[in-house]
Structure 1
């Protein structure tokens, strides 16, 4: 038995939902008039304006109590106003679980699945819950003071949008008039309901407007804005309402990421949609014309797509072939085995496959899972599909109306209908698709030939001028030529990924990646022939490289989808559409596409809120299983965050931790880990990325005993300064930057652990020797120099000359002795290239016999030059003659 709380008892408790608005608080006050001995529990987290008003002005009207100091043991009645949803109540969970407590509900929201079971309920679909309670107070002749009337009027005025919302009823006007008759102050109401927008809210209003996308869903215009904020946006509902008024919208959703939660605020003016019902599917609530919800552990892109999916199910308008069909269609060849058909259906989680001739592309029939399972049961798995397929199947065009679809599926009992235009399969409509639609819409649809508008799920805008400013003429001409080639072949073309991202970030644009909705290899060959240049193809992946010049290469790929047979496996690639191609990518910022076709050239396409995330400087993944399917994306998230100075979103960071927790790296090839590490260590300053790796514990992916300590970071900082110094020398020498940082990480490891790391990462033989034997030699040589310092130029030269650039830089990074570092840098910049001007032929001329004597004499000449002597060729010859005579070499 739980111990009693210290504090007062109360037989009746009144409360409302979290984030209480004026209607909820006014309704609690009105309920207090009906239950005069009740205590009111404020549900917490009211808007700041509400707190200020009620605490400083009207708080004395409420018989308030803190639930932490109320003894609920004597409570027999719980009064809920403006809500009946369990998940929107705080502080009274104990009472909800008590069977002996009678629950009374006063609410204007329609019932939902998460409702309490009340002993008494008053529900009326008025514009405000306060209207319901005022109506009761009026009938009971319960007196209301002017102050109480002001608070109650405030609730009605706000929840009806000053009587402008579609949910407003005659009863709301009547009760508002009744309250005015009781002395309600309209000046107070207007000052709080008709709020002027604050300076800090203007930027959020602007963001909502700029990030607004229009969708046509089942014939209805739906506007959705998706934005994010690292801080809580106060009074978001009023900002959303201003957007509705400014843009004269009928159906609007603001999807806002605040911290690690996505908030949805919905406003509606049309009867075809119930936003309260839609957002109840997200754990939220409200009524048909206004609702809200909060979602945790989902990305903005996921919530937006889930919202759109829910809208498609809930709106009551016509759907025809274009909107019903799934694309691309999953097909199989007539000669494929029935076992292959079963595996394909399992892979894609479908129950019917289209059978398509691979040579002609013609549709020949379909085969169902039920038929395949019977065939497998009878041990006929090797038999071809064409022997058991239904070959009497028909098809429809993409502009077919609902009556045609019903006739084919219901009357002709066809399980699946291909949508075919001009002998090309555009997609499929299944029996389940149609039945779901009819059930959800109660068959309240019109059988007409009306066409649905083309879906617009992507944000689109022209950035042709930005391209002209940022790209040189040669690149612009190349992109236009590629687009023209696409038009000639009737193909849609896009430049995608890093090219578009870096263009918008105003960074140097390098790689040109083209995606073709069609055969990428065939298109690459066509372009190469047109531009008179070479092309390399990779049939396995459907990709090609058009080599325009030594400096310019264009990667071409077919739009494709990917699936994974198991976590950390390499993806299986298949052709698809541009949207699905972008959906398979790692992060939202890499999902942008630019159209290259002439009529849409320079149109930016953004399906996943990438422009928003570029603006917010945030790395966000698209799918919750992204890191499980491909763990290398964890390294890429860190790399991009470091490169661009972005943050990793909270949801994405949680997904990374979860993926690591389930040991997503256990099946990952060491070569793939090595590739990602090389890319990170090759960045201009990889140290923040290395810190992020250790924050997530990724160093243990390299080896369980790898430790990155504060001392390691000191050497890493020294390495970064050393490499920066080297790169500012503008010496024309390439070296593997990554190797310097990698050797620093291995510096404190034993030789055995270093070997195991090389084994784990499958490091090639040459690089393995570099990281093991040669590194140890460099460390020993550095120790020799430090213990014998100061050393002469000659000794320093011969100590270092056999080490290449990467090891010289490594030694400079490693030493803590500034004098040693300075001497090594002088060796590198001033005298590592010291060589005699005389040659072997000169020694032959003075009588030296070719052989070891040559090397001995030339090395002595070099030593003398290192000491500052022999500044001319003549002096070198004199020195060589003298040395050769003294040593009996001539």
Structure 2
């Protein structure tokens, strides 16, 4: 290829100054989104870390070209970002000399003598040029991808010195927030712009580490270092930040005497603590996660004591009981038998029951599983629990702190601690609840800190932004209205499950599931009346469906828990809290909830590590008996794994194998299995899911003789190709997609086996016909077509015309001969819709007597149309008359 052929032309060129920094790079990327089909001319050299960054990760995001390969004679517009100085643009010097070139300039630097003039100039003194361009992206509703947002945010963070330079403006913060909401990765940003400490600062870092002490205040570890220096320590904040990262600290205070002033610097990751508020009492300030203060005329000891006092006051106000407790409490009355108590413990999978006199509303004690088992062993199950309960009881209120809980459970050796407000039991805290909180609380904060590219204390705001950005206006308004209506009724409102999962995965959202902490049916009736909707209610389950005039639907449910009397049975439902409602769900990724009440709108709730599993792309179940209680969850695990490209976790996979080994499907309704299979077969490509099913031996659940061989998968692949071909036709004709895959899977089975599979699955009569008689008829007709040496268009038409879409597609997948496949596809796309214009009344006018002859003539007309002989109604009538004359059918006058 000649050099001339390698020349690139572009009407719009984007560039920036030589030695481009992150702001310049980010600005060029943003400009590329504002100017489609443009080419970036990258400046001549970069800093090493920037060059390595591009080589390793992001160069693919830019439509770049070397200036030597571009034919500038075709360029009409030059876009310059982050500079206005000609001397800093040598790579486009030829373009700058063009008389007819249009120049668009975006810059944040102050104007200087000799600046370029542009036909478009958008300049203002912000901390970074990318800040200006981001505001334009927002105006045009262009939302960068997470990778693009990270690069753009790097520009803001670097040029504002992590928002510490005096040139930083409010707009820089606003645009950084916008980029974080788009998924910018703070960890990536930190890796490039966080300053490395200098060698002389290492001494102070070691000093702070050596002097670090831990103050345990109400169950929260506060790390604190107190040191002194005769000289000023430069970049003390950088050293503090380094320590927080090195030691994975939640809260850290550095108290440093420098000269005659004491400097306090605080960093915090716990959302309940506001270090800005704490240090404001020392004359300083900041925000909840970072703050500083300077104190004069005090000693180090005094400042340390004052700070501890403030912390004790502030941290003591943290109310963790509501997050720690399980609600509602499962209780039993004193005179109920021990046998019933044992059944309740098994039903709810708990180890301790509160004994409550409901008439007096009085908490009398508790009884444990260990005691109940001994009672049953000694055949005393008929006695009341009052005889054997532990009556040495304690309780707390919902505003208790961690130290009170620890003291009662650990020191007092109580197994269970009821939370009682105004005489009513709100919930319970067990030893396990306390242990989980103490061991996992801080780790969970760190793990979730950057799940969405944001700090945990900004989670509410950022989730709200995601709602606003990824949902259309109708859904956003709808969610707000639901929250307001629930608030008026005193109910806590949540959108849950697949809605939240798909929102975070940026997938299409099909269903809106609302959970109400309260009466879901009452809410649905109130909301429907306000919005002019109708509702269907299901009192047994406490659920309702709200239906808008355009048939848009919202599913509403009261927060509930479920238990199973026997494996594979339908669940028994009782009202509950959002926590227990989420706990009954199948997999962690479906346990996310977003609060809709006005005060907490957009707050995401994650009790079971769903964010972690979405990030790890893993399907994990919540309970070890999940598949035993509901075996259909096995099919759902496979479906979700296939749909999202997630792996099934090792423990979850073992639980699936165990459930199959103990034959958990024996009591499962065939219709429920059929429903799950249909959903898998309706996926865009169910073949990986079918392979996963086979890897677990699930095909044997349908029938012991059902075997999937390589030829079966070849046919399934053929079905997938044919259905993809059909879907691209955009024919507005629904068909049971699942049935085509199911027919293919049963293709090599005997009629008897297929019949037994249909019986096992309780396949409805109409669908049974698809999988049996009609499928065999389609296969028989296809065999006749394939065995015929010649097959005319007319013969093919009359052979296929009475088959529905699913059978035509099934036959196309089965056929081996490409010519026959082409003929069937031609029939489906062109000939199937051919109909004669001529009607019976036209034949009457020709003098024909009604009867079988009408069908014969119309068939001949259609045959002629299939050959393209007849185009109009007149031609059809003439053809019919000639045919009737020829066969002596016309009545002579």
Q: TM-score over 0.5 for the alignment?
A: yes
- Other-structure match for 2:805: 805
Question: Partner residue of 1:245?
Answer: 246
Structure 1 match to 2:889 = 888
- Tell me if structure 2 keeps the 8 A contact 1:339–1:376: no
Distance in 2 (CA, whole Å) between partners of 1:472 and 1:806 is: 35
Q: Which residue of 1 aligns with 2:529?
A: 529
Q: How far apart in 2 are the matches of 1:493 and 1:429?
A: 24
1:529-548 to structure 2, matched below 5 A, reads 529-548=529-548
How much is the aligned-residue C-alpha RMSD, in angstroms? 4.6
CA contact (8 A) 1:324 1:433 kept: no
Give the match's secondary structure for 1:744. Answer: helix
Q: Is the 8 A contact 2:219 2:402 kept in 1?
A: no
Counterpart of 1:837 in 2: which secondary structure? coil
Deviation, structure 1 residue 752 = 0.7
3-state SS, counterpart of residue 494 of structure 1? strand
Post-superposition shift, 1:848?
A: 2.9
**In the TM superposition, what is the alpha-carbon distance from 1:472 to its structure 2 partner?**
0.5
**Which SS does the other structure have where 2:573 is aligned?**
strand
Q: Does 1:764 align with 2:776?
A: no
Partner residue in 1 for 2:687? 687
Is the CA contact (8 Å cut-off) linking 1:205 and 1:243 kept in structure 2? no
The answer for the alignment partner of 2:872 in structure 1 is 872
Q: Which of 458-467 and 674-683 deviates more?
A: 458-467
Taking a change above 3 Å as real, the CA distance of residues 347 and 639 of structure 1, as seen in their structure-2 partners, is closer
Superposition pairs for residues 12-23 of structure 1, below 5 Å? none
Match of 1:464 in 2: 464
1:747 aligns with 2:747: yes
Write the distance in 2 (CA, Å) between the matches of 1:373 and 1:613. Answer: 41
Preserved contact between residue 218 and residue 319 of structure 1 (Cα < 8 Å): no
Partner Cα separation in structure 2 for residue 217 and residue 633 of structure 1: 44
CA contact (8 A) 2:835 2:862 kept: yes
**Structure 2 equivalent of residue 700 of structure 1:** 700
Q: In the superposition, relative to structure 1, how do residues 425 and 457 fare at CA in structure 2: closer, same or farther (>3 Å)?
A: farther
Distance 1:374 1:757, change over 3 A: closer
Distance in structure 2 (CA, Å) of the matches to 1:406 and 1:695: 48
Q: Give the match's secondary structure for 1:557.
A: strand
* 1:347–1:622 Cα change, 3 Å: closer
Shift of 1:747: 0.5
Do the aligned partners of 1:834 and 1:866 also contact (CA within 8 Å) in 2? Answer: yes
Q: Is the 8 A contact 1:837 1:876 kept in 2?
A: yes
- Report if the CA contact (8 A) 1:338-1:376 is conserved: no
Question: What per-residue deviation string (whole Å, max 9, x for no partner) do you get for residues 616-648 of structure 1?
Answer: 222222233322332222221221121112222
In 2, are the aligned partners of 1:494 and 1:515 still within 8 Å (CA)?
yes
In the other structure, the counterpart of 2:861 is 861
Larger CA deviation: 799-808 vs 340-349: 340-349
Q: CA deviation at 1:249?
A: 4.3
CA distance in 1, matches of 2:608, 2:694: 29
Alpha-carbon distance in 2 for matches of 1:799, 1:676: 34
Question: Aligned in 2, Cα 1:472/1:362: closer, same or farther, shift over 3 Å?
Answer: farther
Deviation by residue 1:498-557 (Cα, 9 ceiling, x = unmatched): 111111111111100111112222211121112110111112222111112435211111
SS of 1:556's partner is strand
Deviation of the 1:594 alpha carbon:
1.2
Q: CA shift at 1:496, angstroms?
A: 1.0
**Please, what TM-score do these two structures have when normalized by structure 1?**
0.58
Change beyond 3 A, Cα 1:387–1:549: farther
Instruction: Give the Cα–Cα distance (whole angstroms) in 1 for the partners of residues 610 and 415 of structure 2.
Output: 38
Q: Are the counterparts in 2 of residues 483 and 598 from structure 1 also a CA contact under 8 Å?
A: yes
Give per-residue Cα distances to partners, 1:596-633, cap 9 Å, x unaligned.
11122112222222222222222222233322332222
Q: Does the Cα contact within 8 Å between 1:596 and 1:602 map onto a contact in 2?
A: yes
CA contact (8 A) 1:332 1:341 kept: yes
Aligned to 1:578: 578
Deviation, 1:686, is 0.9
Q: Which residue of 2 aligns with 1:347?
A: 347
Q: Distance in 1 between matches of 2:809 and 2:403?
A: 75
Displacement, 1:571? 2.4
Cα offset, 1:425, TM superposition: 3.1
Measured against aligned partners, the alpha-carbon deviations of 1:798-822 in whole angstroms (never above 9, x if no partner) come to 1001110000000000011101110
For residue 796 of structure 2, what is the aligned residue in structure 1?
796
Change (3 A) 1:402 1:648: closer
SS in 2 for 1:711: helix
Q: 1:428 offset after TM fit, Å?
A: 4.2
Q: 1:699 to 1:379 in 2, by over 3 A?
A: closer
Counterpart in the other structure of 2:640: 640
Equivalent residue runs for 1:208-223 within 5 Å = 219-221=219-221
CA contact (8 A) 1:331 1:356 kept: no
Distance 1:801 1:403, change over 3 A: closer
- Which residue of structure 2 lines up, in the alignment, with residue 777 of structure 1? 777
Instruction: Indicate the residue corresponding to 1:184 in structure 2.
Output: none
Q: Work out whether 1:726 is the aligned partner of 2:733.
A: no
- Partner residue in 2 for 1:159: none
Q: Are the aligned partners of 2:337 and 2:381 in contact in 1 as well (CA < 8 Å)? A: no
- Whether contact under 8 Å (2:367, 2:385) holds in the other structure is no
Q: CA deviation at 1:484?
A: 0.7
Deviation, 1:361, is 11
Structure-1 separation of matches of 2:189 and 2:569: 42
Matches within 5 A, 1:109-148: none
In structure 2, what is the equivalent of residue 425 of structure 1?
Answer: 425
Residues 844 and 351 (structure 1 numbering): CA distance in 2 closer, same or farther, change over 3 Å?
same
Give TM-score scaled by structure 2 length: 0.57
User: Alpha carbons of 1:736 and 1:242: their partners in 2 closer, same or farther (altered >3 Å)?
Assistant: farther
Residues 385-426 of structure 1: per-residue CA shift (max 9 Å, x gap):
99999999998643468999999999x999987544356530
Shift of 1:575: 2.0
Give the CA deviation at 1:587: 1.8
Which residue number in structure 2 is paired with residue 556 of structure 1?
556
Contact 2:367 2:388 in 1 (8 A): no
Cα deviation for residue 376 of structure 1 reads: 14
- Cα deviation for residue 336 of structure 1 reads 8.8
1:521–1:558 CA contact under 8 A, matched in 2: yes
What is the aligned length? 583
Q: Go from structure 1 to structure 2 and tell me whether the alpha carbon gap of 1:405 and 1:833 turns closer, same or farther (over 3 Å shift).
A: closer
Distance 2:778 2:572 in 1: 44
Contact 1:789–1:820 at 8 Å: present in 2 too?
no
Contact 1:492 1:517 in 2 (8 A): yes
Give the conservation status (yes or no) of the 8 Å contact 2:517–2:578. yes
Distance 1:815 1:407, change over 3 A: closer
Distance 1:400 1:695, change over 3 A: closer
Question: In structure 2, what is the equivalent of residue 717 of structure 1?
Answer: 717
Name 1:290's counterpart in structure 2: none
Q: Report which stretch shifted further, 752-761 or 346-355.
A: 346-355
Consecutive unaligned residues of structure 2, counting only runs of 5 or more, are 1-185, 195-215, 224-240, 253-317, 449-455
Change (3 A) 1:374 1:589: closer
1:751-801 Cα distance to aligned partner (Å, 9 max, x none): 011111111111111111110000000000000111114311110011001
**What aligned pairs does 1:428-507 form with structure 2 within 5 A after superposition?**
428=428, 459=448, 461-462=459-460, 463-507=463-507
Cα 1:393/1:501, change in 2 over 3 Å: closer
Q: Is the 8 A contact 1:458 1:605 kept in 2?
A: no
Task: Give 1:813-852 correspondences, 5 Å limit.
Answer: 813-852=813-852
Report SS of the residue matched to 1:822.
Answer: helix
Go from structure 1 to structure 2 and tell me whether the alpha carbon gap of 1:482 and 1:457 turns closer, same or farther (over 3 Å shift). farther
Q: Distance in 2 between matches of 1:666 and 1:607?
A: 33
Contact 1:341/1:353, CA 8 A, preserved across alignment:
no
Shift of 1:467: 1.5
Q: How does 1:301-312 map to 2 (within 5 A)?
A: none
Corresponding position: 1:667 with 2:667:
yes
Q: 8 Å contact 1:588–1:610 — kept in the other structure?
A: yes
Structure 1 residue 582: Cα displacement: 1.7
Q: Is the 8 A contact 1:244 1:250 kept in 2?
A: no
TM superposition shift of 1:832: 0.8
Give the secondary structure class of the aligned counterpart of 1:546: strand
Q: Tell me, what secondary structure is at the counterpart of 1:545?
A: strand
Taking the aligned partners of 2:697 and 2:798, their CA distance within structure 1 comes to: 42
Deviation at 1:738, TM superposition (A): 0.7
Contact 1:457–1:607 (CA<8 Å) still a contact in 2?
Answer: no
